[in-house]
Amino acid sequence: MRKVLISGAAGFLGSHVLKICAEKGYAIRGAVRNLSETSRLDYLRKVAGPKADLEFVEARLENYESWDRAVRGCDSVIHLAAPLPSKNARNEVLEEQMYSGIQAVLENSTKHHVKAVVVTGTSLNAGIYGGVPKHVYTESDWPEEAAAGYLRGKVALERSAWRYQQEQRQDRFRLTIIHPAVMYGPLLVPGARGSLQQLIHMLNGYMAYYHLCVPIVDVRDVALAHVKAMESKVADGKRYMCSGGSLWLDEIPRLIQQEFGKEGYGCKKMPCNDLLIKFFSLFTKDLRNMVERSGSLFEVSSELIGKELGVGFRPARDSVVDCVRSLIASGLVKKRK
């Protein structure tokens, strides 16, 4: 039985990748930051099902030696693990952890004769920092620059991965980079970070809405994209964009109101002060990019992965609705007063 290592297995995307791999009959090794979080691991065991060949190993991006143990004996690696930005995380630490983590995974994949490595990037860099704004972004679009922190770390991660693969002449594994848009969809394990936290802020009334176009993709489809890329020789050396379409950020509250208003859930209207945003954009690169792209379409084409790997994508609206329904069921959002 083929064994796959899933790093970040306890996360939003990782749990869905784990579920698909279990359904396909793979032996699974899930890499997590902390084996002492037994309740979270129990959730993952339920996701995989009672017949799954599943084990867990502790591996941290900043701990090189832990990846030797994690990769050993695996045929494929799906590397999802990434430090998520927070108000207390320093940008240089995020970037260093991403870089050290991908180097450890790649070097140990060579050492242990892994056949395929699939890595998660992000399509947001192409549209936010991709040079001249345009309507539709594809795999040919590379960011010319990126702000500090998470997004710049993702750029460095991808470039170092391609550079590493090009330098290998023996024991060369297949490499694919998957670039998802903003991910929504149902939760399989408790907790919410990243894009899910933004949606929770919307529902709980803590977020103002700017007129930005945001590409969205369903986590279930992104998970399938990773597994299909792992299985396909066609995917070697490819980068794939993943999106189910785009929504305007200030359109999402109206969608939530339509679907969940009768149940008592919705978003408070908190429009942005445009003048204030534009003033602070003079000093902050992220805000400057946001202001420059306000009112402009930001769409990502998933045509290539559909054509080569047969991966389809749910509409963005459905992914948002399914995500909100899941957040409500998990007790992470409050009814309006």
- Tell me what percent of the chain is helix, strand and coil, each rounded to the nearest 5: 45, 15, 40
- In order of their start, the domains of the chain are 3-184+217-243 (3.40.50.720)
DSSP 63: -
Least confident range of 85-89, 128-132, 163-167, 312-316: 128-132
pLDDT > 60? residue 159:
yes
pLDDT value of residue 286 = 52
Using an 8 Å Cβ cutoff, are 138 and 298 in contact? no
pLDDT band, very low/low/confident/very high, at 241 (cuts 50, 70, 90): very high
pLDDT > 70? residue 131:
no
Return d(Cα 147, Cα 128) in angstroms, integer. 10
pTM above 0.85, yes or no: yes
Least confident range of 201-215, 265-279, 317-331: 265-279
**Distance from first CA to last CA of the chain, Å, rounded?**
53
pLDDT value of residue 25 = 96
pLDDT value of residue 89 = 57
**% of the chain with per-residue pLDDT over 90:** 53
Return d(Cα 61, Cα 120) in angstroms, integer. 14
pLDDT value of residue 232 = 97
**H helix or E strand, kind and range, residue 92:** helix 91-111
With 0-12 / 13-18 / 19 or more C-beta atoms within 10 angstroms meaning exposed / middle / buried, residue 152 is buried
Tell me the pLDDT tens digit for each residue of 95-109.
Answer: 788 888 899 999 999
Q: What is the mean pLDDT of residues 255-280?
A: 70
pLDDT > 90? residue 51:
yes
Using an 8 Å Cβ cutoff, are 218 and 118 in contact? no
Return d(Cα 332, Cα 329) in angstroms, integer. 8
pLDDT value of residue 207 = 58
Comparing C-alpha atoms, which of 242, 141, 271, 137 is closest to residue 184? 242
